[in-house]
Amino acid sequence: MVRYAALKGLYDLEKTIGSGGFAKVKLATHIATGEKVAIKIMDKTALGVDLPRVKLEVEALKTLLHQHICRLYQVIETESHYFMVIEYCSGGELFDHIVEKNRLSETESRKFFRQIVSAVAYLHSLGYAHRDLKPENVLLDKEENLKLIDFGLCAKPKNGIESHLQTSCGSPTYAAPELILGKKYLGSEVDIWSMGVLLYALLCGFLPFDDNSIESLYRKILSGKYDEPSWLSNSSKKLIRAMLQIDPKKRITIQELCNHPWITAEFLNPVSFVHKTNFEKDDDVLSTMSAICGEHALEIWKKLVKSDRTDYKTATYLLLLDRKLRGLSLRISHSAKSHFKSECESEANSIISKLDYSPRSKSTKRSPVSNTVYNPLPKTPENVSNFMEPHLPGRKRLRSKETDDVCSPVPVKRVAEKDKVISTPTSTPIPDSKGTQSSTPGSARKVIMGIERGLNRVRCVLTPKRRMKNENIDPDQPNVFSGKGLCNVSSTNSDDPKYVLSQLRRALRRKGIMCHQKGFILQGETEDCTEDEKDTTRPFSTRNTCSFELEVCLLDGVTSDKLLVGIRRKRLKGDAWVYKRVCEEVLALAAEDLSTEPECSTESKCPI
């Protein structure tokens, strides 16, 4: 049963893949085509002052058409909710991809960064500035192509991209010096700075400017001084320096980036993009829809041209177009037909009533449909498009006086696990309790392998892509995950999940992290209580909150003889780097309690 009446007969909702303060993102199936989409569901009553940002994001996505920017299929507005139907991305965040690999090679970083440069150059050519570029706002499709998301902070100055802006927004660790100083700025120049921080994170696995204290962080950014690890090539160092110039007038431009030698190396051609804002006309797709609808293809196209992405027919056209660009046949699935027939008494009111339906329309036109049987169009041998299946999550970003956060799904990659971890004695869980917030240690532990590889004596195995068929539904027993397709799971040698759970609770208390327990799942939330939210001299809100989930589980397929106890990690909302640091510290504390071996003295560089 569809919970939301506006989606009934149009989309089949599935699991929640992201959530936040006022919105959640669900995986769904577009009934007419059978394609997977992501639907961002926003409660209007909870939006408050963020409502204009939602409208801004919608209007921007209606205009933007680029292979590395997420595609908006449909927007449905009711009295109580907004529904944004977007491309679904199964590869997760670029941030998680960096965490998984510790840091990326120069070749892989170049591949990703070229795609980011192409998307940003396209944005700037249309007069838009993104203003919140960071790895959490870049998703990967199943082919590992990037999709830029989250345009809630984008700006389009009335007098063009070279017009100055005043609103300080974005994430502090990616903020340009002029933003911190509260000066007027050019959107294109602050985007270049953020791209410099992003490239540094790709190549190094940590941020160039990072500190638990917001004042110290600002001082580091304003100084422009950062470490250059020995593994960086000279050409990489030069490019990062060109982007991280304190004086925005000395910063490299997007046009120069497209032609930079580091960007063109191994590709032998500069970054390019197609300047377009209207989706293309495709006769094959129109013919397919005509066969379904019983309406002439030309009439369908005339309606699509005038569409503002609020109708189901436009979403159907765009999804069929994406199928063709991926070399797939154009068809309506049998499940969709049977679904429509079950909803309507007559065949004439089945598919057509859904294709013409718009929740905002006061009336709908229904055309008679003949009992037409058509053959799927042949697969096209042309180059496959990059329009695949991303997910659009909103993300928490820090701005002048308000915040917004929606989480995105975890990636579904797999990496090789390595050594093993110490065994532990058994015990009983510690009773539920709450702790008070305490400040986290300094951010000297920069290397991102801290979560995936460098946790003190905790081995990385990987987060479940899928659970086993015999998943345990007993609340008194942990879930069992397959050893295949896992990521973001640390394993131990313990065979007692209740003891591991008790040690996790103890570690959370020692960190002063608020904790709620449900079965073998612990939900923690951190909060920076040292800030003064009433300090209007600060250009950003500096509230470093982070919500995350730790689940004690059993891992099958890790060893041949027995199930191991694992700890699954998932960020629910908040800053990704705060999440990384907090999980790193909590799991390290838990590992100390579980360990019977002496600790490694080198921080974040213990053998796995």
Given the structure tokens 């869980």, which residue do they identify? 429
E strand or H helix that includes residue 29: strand 23-30
Alpha-helical runs (H) found in 131-186: 177-180
What is d(CA 524, CA 572) in angstroms, rounded to the nearest whole number?
Answer: 10
In this prediction, residues 483-511 reach a mean pLDDT of 77
Query: Over the stretch 150-181, which tens digit does the pLDDT of each residue have?
Result: 898 999 998 899 999 998 888 899 999 999 99
- Most confident of the ranges 198-207, 432-441, 523-532: 198-207
Contact 522, 569 (CB under 8 A): no
Q: Contact 435/513 with Cβ under 8 angstroms?
A: yes
Q: Is 213 exposed, middle or buried (0-12, 13-18, 19+ CB in 10 A)?
A: middle
Burial 552-590 (b: 16+ CB within 10 A, else e): bbbbbebeeeebbbbbbbbbbbbbbbbbbbbbbbbbbbb
Cβ within 8 Å of residue 348, ≥6 positions away: 366, 368, 369
Q: How many CA atoms lie within 13 A of 140 on its CB side?
A: 19
Between 4 and 454, name the one with better pLDDT.
Answer: 4
d(CA 265, CA 267): 5
Stated as kind and residue range, the H or E segment containing 261 is: helix 261-264
Least confident of 219-228, 254-263, 483-492: 483-492
Q: Are strands 403-404 and 185-186 parallel, antiparallel or unpaired?
A: unpaired
Cα 490 from Cα 99, distance rounded (Å):
13
Q: Is the pLDDT of residue 247 over 70?
A: yes
**Mean pLDDT, range 230-244, rounded to an integer:** 96
Q: Are 427 and 498 in contact (CB under 8 A)?
A: yes
| Distance (Å, whole) CA 550 – CA 522 | 5
Please name the residues in contact with 36: beta carbons below 8 A apart, sequence gap of 6 or more.
27, 28, 29, 30, 88, 389
Cα 583 from chain centre: 19
- How buried is 476 (Cβ within 10 angstroms: 0-12 exposed, 13-18 middle, 19+ buried)? exposed
Yes or no: say if 559 and 472 are a contact pair by the CB < 8 Å rule: no
Q: What CA–CA distance (Å, rounded) separates 510 from 420?
A: 26
Instruction: Yes or no: say if 189 and 257 are a contact pair by the CB < 8 Å rule.
Output: no
pLDDT (0 to 100) of residue 181: 92
344-368 core/surface letters (b: 16 or more CB in 10 A; e: else)? beeebbbbbbbbbbbbeeeeeeeee
CA 428, 434, 435, 440 torsion-angle sign: positive
pLDDT at 475: 64
Residue 499 has pLDDT above 50, yes or no: yes
pLDDT, residue 275, reads: 76
Mean pLDDT of the chain: 74
Spatial distance between the Cα atoms of 23 and 336, rounded to a whole number of angstroms: 28
* pLDDT attached to residue 268: 77
Exposure letters 183-196 (e unless 16+ CB within 10 A, then b): eebbbbbbbbbbbb
pTM of the model: 0.66
pLDDT, residue 446, reads 39
| Spatial contact of 65 and 310, defined as CB atoms under 8 Å apart | no
Whether the CB-CB separation of 184 and 155 falls below 8 Å is answered with no
Query: Which residue in the block uniquely carries the two structure tokens 């294709």?
Result: 355
Which pLDDT score is estimated for 357?
A: 52
**Contacts for 425 with CB less than 8 Å, ≥ 6 apart:** 496, 499
Q: What mean pLDDT comes out for the span 532-539?
A: 42
Instruction: Reply yes or no on whether the pLDDT at 371 is more than 70.
Output: no
Query: Which of 16-20, 210-214, 525-529 holds the top average pLDDT?
Result: 210-214
Encoding tokens for residue 296? Answer: 């002439």
Query: Residue 592 has what pLDDT?
Result: 74
Query: Is pLDDT at 463 greater than 80 in this prediction?
Result: no
pLDDT of residue 442: 42
pLDDT: is 175 or 524 the higher one? 175
Enzyme catalytic residues: 132
pLDDT value of position 393: 45
Rounded Cα distance, 281 and 321, in Å? 9
